[in-house]
Chain A
């Protein structure tokens, strides 16, 4: 295990622009030592720029970057206690696996016998014993990935930066490397800052995630927090899928309220839903909620809905079999179409296309989003 308080990262009002494109816009972030932290967002959101600012390859236009409380803004890459696993691994093609791994130690003036010992340890850690004398071109993608990891970790940095390291691997290998990465991080106990556009990857690996868009941080939290309480429409849409429901508050009773859902057309009786409102005081404004597809229950039309749940009548528009789930599109009585996910389990009724259904959902699953 590394020492406990190494690898603490603080970004304060960091800004970086390329010409008039602002890649990183006033980003403030605290990453505690020893966390597996992901920067998640679509391409061009500024996540890689943030990583490069930390690695020292870019100089911020404004703001402060501190590692373990010390400003590193003016330190060049080779003076930072931070190593990077590059997207295409960036292994030195003219060196063997062992020479690649030894490079960082050599540059730091570690004596020869110790280099040999630590290279062997690092290669063992990533399961590459026996490949010391190969050239990178003679390795598979997964093996190259491991060499890159061993090379970055062998000099025991306090922070490892990973720039979409699994992006060029096929799905099966990617899943396996995800598990290995997670185990490796637990083993070495240093901060991993992981950049990815793959929300599933970020969710399964990270202790905490920062979702980015247009150079700005949208939300920071644990994977659960971000999934369960997305702050805005972008996060709710980017992490998993959401049905976006708009409504006007017509009644409020403490933390509970009633909204009249905005449909595609008016119905004789407006569709209403109970919702939970935490600390917000809306006044007849149009509110937007996220409702996750798996939190909606479909029932035969004549059943009594569970107590305390909202309900609406609908009709199945389409059904897609996904293996573990069925994905339905349901048209509600007011014309709204919602995506619904029902587990492929015997206890859940199945519906054919055009079947009439009762749609039910809980007030607490209606997540109010910031506009």
Chain B
């Protein structure tokens, strides 16, 4: 054993890690390894796995196929990442002012407002997404209102916009909460110091508040981006053929198509891309101080 390991072995607290480690190994690493193995196989006509060990599934993902539905997997991959990025950006845009107001509100208001952020979690995500469907589809609430006001048709259901709306709605709390925590514990005298030194409120915000809330921005962005990129309920319920996302494709391969090897490969590509992008993001924002 290396000296470092020997030292670690003497730390009695390490035993506290055992339950979580066992759980992760049994229920995460082993299934992940299985999926990884599947991704190199092919499918028998009855949906069982043919142990053939080849790279065909990965090549199929990268090769734009015109005659098959959905037509182009590369487009789906890029769309997923783009919609996730857009969702993250919109969550930041909407969530930051809210988190800021939350952190600056009086204690009495704060609890109520935090409750408002968390309340949606009390209802099943699927049900909430169905509710959006009723709002967005033809003769839904928005369409009816728009037509009643003589503004013409207003049907978002089936469009990428609807999917982004649903994603922003679903993951906004994951942006607000970490932002709120960093903004709330930020030393307020720093902002006063900025005013004191001649900064207008606007400049103090950009020069002091935003840089100091970076940990919250990073955490919130990662927490929103990862589930958005792999979302499948929202695009399935709110989107259409033109807004299919990678998560939806994976789900489809496992359930409807029963092509587990291809679904596994798609899942792995998704995971690899998300990890890569998050790593690039961390490097770009200098997360070593995070």
Interface, chain A (partner B; CB < 8 A): 55-57, 76-78, 82-84, 86-88, 90-94, 103-104, 107-108, 151-152, 155
Which of chain A's residues has its CB closest to B188's CB? A90
Which of chain B's residues has its CB closest to A88's CB? B189
Please tell me which stretch of B191-199, B251-259, B260-268 contacts chain A, meaning at least 4 of its Cβ atoms lie within 8 angstroms of it. B191-199
Q: How far is the CA of A226 from the CA of B199 in the complex (A)?
A: 39
Task: Say which size band chain B's interface belongs to.
Answer: 10 to 19
Q: Judge whether A86 and B198 touch: CB under 8 Å.
A: no
Q: Judge whether A88 and B192 touch: CB under 8 Å.
A: no
A residues in contact with B195, CB < 8 Å: 56-57, 76-78
1/0 per residue B114-141: CB within 8 Å of A? Answer: 0000000000000000000000000000
Pick from B189, B196, B199, B208 the residue with the most CB of A within 10 Å. B196
Pick from B195, B200, B204, B208 the residue with the most CB of A within 10 Å. B195
Which of chain A's residues has its CB closest to B214's CB? A94
A83-B197, A94-B212, A155-B197 in contact; A57/B192 too (CB < 8 A)?
yes
A-B contact pairs, 5 of them (CB 8 A): A56-B196, A78-B196, A103-B197, A103-B207, A155-B198
A212 to chain B, nearest CB (A): 22
A residues in contact with B211, CB < 8 Å: 94
**Among all A-B residue pairs, the 7 with the closest Cβ atoms:** A104-B197, A107-B198, A90-B193, A77-B195, A90-B189, A94-B211, A107-B199
Q: Judge whether A90 and B187 touch: CB under 8 Å.
A: yes
B residues in contact with A88, CB < 8 Å: 187, 189
B residues in contact with A86, CB < 8 Å: 189, 192-193
Q: Judge whether A92 and B193 touch: CB under 8 Å.
A: yes
A96 to chain B, nearest CB (A): 13
Say whether B110 faces chain A, with CB atoms less than 8 Å apart: no
Q: How far is the CA of A172 from the CA of B194 in the complex (A)?
A: 31
B199 to chain A, nearest CB (A): 5
A171 to chain B, nearest CB (A): 25
A-B contact sample (17 more), CB < 8 A, given A56-B195, A78-B200, A152-B197: A56-B196, A76-B195, A78-B196, A78-B198, A78-B199, A78-B204, A83-B196, A83-B197, A88-B187, A90-B192, A92-B190, A92-B208, A94-B214, A107-B194, A107-B197, A107-B203, A108-B198
A86-B189, A88-B189 in contact; A103/B196 too (CB < 8 A)?
no
Q: Which of B190, B198, B208 contacts A104 (CB 8 A)?
A: B198
Which of chain A's residues has its CB closest to B192's CB? A57
Q: How far is the CA of A354 from the CA of B198 in the complex (A)?
A: 65
Pick from B195, B196, B197 the residue with the most CB of A within 10 Å. B197
A residues in contact with B192, CB < 8 Å: 55, 57, 77, 84, 86, 90
Pick from A82, A86, A103, A155 the residue with the most CB of B within 10 Å. A103
Which of chain B's residues has its CB closest to A154's CB? B197
B residues in contact with A77, CB < 8 Å: 192, 195-196
A residues in contact with B194, CB < 8 Å: 92, 103, 107
B residues in contact with A90, CB < 8 Å: 187, 189-190, 192-193
Q: How far is the CA of A305 from the CA of B199 in the complex (A)?
A: 67
B55 to chain A, nearest CB (A): 46
A residues in contact with B204, CB < 8 Å: 78
Which of chain A's residues has its CB closest to B211's CB? A94
Which of chain B's residues has its CB closest to A135's CB? B289
A151 to chain B, nearest CB (A): 7
A86-B189, A86-B192, A88-B187 in contact; A93/B197 too (CB < 8 A)?
no
Which of chain A's residues has its CB closest to B203's CB? A107
Q: Which of B168-206 contact A (CB under 8 A)?
A: 187, 189-190, 192-200, 203-204
A residues in contact with B190, CB < 8 Å: 90, 92-93
Q: How far is the CA of A193 from the CA of B280 in the complex (A)?
A: 50
A148 to chain B, nearest CB (A): 9
Q: How far is the CA of A183 from the CA of B269 in the complex (A)?
A: 67
B33 to chain A, nearest CB (A): 42
